[in-house]
C-alpha cells in the first residue's frame, strides 16, 4: 500500500479574491494529480487510448482545514479508498499538505472507467487494476453499483418552459 504525491507551486492564477487557493483550483489539482499518477504508472493517455478506456468522475467533495496561499508549495496525495471487485468503480482520497506536513484539505473523488466508444461503464484492463491495488489505503472498502445509488444527488429534469424567460 502506497500513497502517490504530486507537487504544485501555487501560482497567482490559482488564487481567488480572498487571496487563497480558489475552490476550482482544488478540483484542478486533484485532477492533475490523478493524471500524473496514471502517467507515472504507465497508464497515460496513449495507453488509455490504446485500451479504449477512460476515467470519469461522478462525484467529488471537499473539506478545508487551512488556507493555502500564492507562492507556497503544496503536495497532493492520492490513495484508493474504495474500489469494486472488478475495478470498474473507484474512489480516490486526496490530501493536501504543506511541506512542513500541515494537512490543509481533503478531497474524495468517486469515478468509473468507461469504454470510450460505447460511452458505458466497463471493467478496466488488468494493468490498471494492478496499479490501483498497489495504492489502496489501509482501510479500503469494496463497493458495488449499489454504492453509486448512495451518492447525494440524482438527475432532476425540469419543464423547459421554465427557461423561456432566460433565453
Q: Which domains does the chain have, with CATH numbers?
A: 4-150 (3.10.129.10)
The DSSP secondary-structure symbol of 15 reads B
Contacts for 56 with CB less than 8 Å, ≥ 6 apart: 111, 112, 113, 114
Question: With contact defined as beta carbons under 8 Å apart, do 89 and 142 qualify?
Answer: no
For the chain, where are the E strands, in sequence order? 4-9, 53-64, 73-84, 89-97, 103-115, 120-121, 136-143
3-state secondary structure at position 27: helix
Query: pLDDT per residue over 10-58, tens digit each?
Result: 999 999 999 999 999 999 999 999 999 999 999 999 999 999 999 999 9
Query: pLDDT per residue over 116-153, tens digit each?
Result: 999 999 999 999 999 999 999 999 999 999 999 999 99
Whole-number pLDDT of residue 153: 92
Query: pLDDT per residue over 83-107, tens digit each?
Result: 999 999 999 999 999 999 999 999 9
Question: With contact defined as beta carbons under 8 Å apart, do 34 and 109 qualify?
Answer: yes
Is the confidence at residue 61, as pLDDT, over 90? yes
Burial class (CB in 10 A: 0-12, 13-18, 19+), 61: exposed
Residue-wise burial string across 123-141, b where 16 or more C-beta atoms lie within 10 A, e elsewhere: ebbeebbebbeebbbeebe
For 32-72, where are the E strands, in sequence order? 53-64
Q: pLDDT grade, residue 165 (50/70/90)? A: confident
Amino acid at each position: 500500500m502506497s500513497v502517490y504525491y504530486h507537487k504544485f507551486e501555487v501560482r497567482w492564477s490559482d488564487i481567488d479574491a480572498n487571496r487563497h487557493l480558489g475552490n476550482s483550483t482544488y478540483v484542478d489539482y486533484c485532477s492533475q494529480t490523478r493524471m500524473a499518477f496514471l502517467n507515472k504508472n504507465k497508464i497515460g493517455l496513449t495507453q488509455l487510448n490504446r485500451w479504449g478506456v477512460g476515467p470519469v468522475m461522478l462525484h467529488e467533495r471537499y473539506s478545508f482545514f487551512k488556507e493555502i496561499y500564492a507562492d507556497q508549495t503544496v503536495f497532493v496525495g492520492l490513495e484508493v479508498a474504495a474500489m469494486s471487485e472488478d475495478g470498474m468503480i473507484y474512489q480516490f482520497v486526496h490530501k493536501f499538505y504543506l511541506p512542513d506536513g500541515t494537512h490543509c484539505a481533503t478531497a474524495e473523488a468517486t469515478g468509473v472507467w468507461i469504454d470510450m466508444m460505447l460511452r458505458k461503464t466497463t471493467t478496466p484492463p488488468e494493468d490498471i487494476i494492478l496499479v490501483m491495488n498497489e495504492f489502496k489505503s489501509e482501510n479500503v472498502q469494496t463497493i458495488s453499483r449499489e454504492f453509486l445509488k448512495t451518492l447525494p444527488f440524482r438527475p432532476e429534469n425540469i419543464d423547459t418552459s421554465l427557461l423561456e424567460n432566460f433565453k
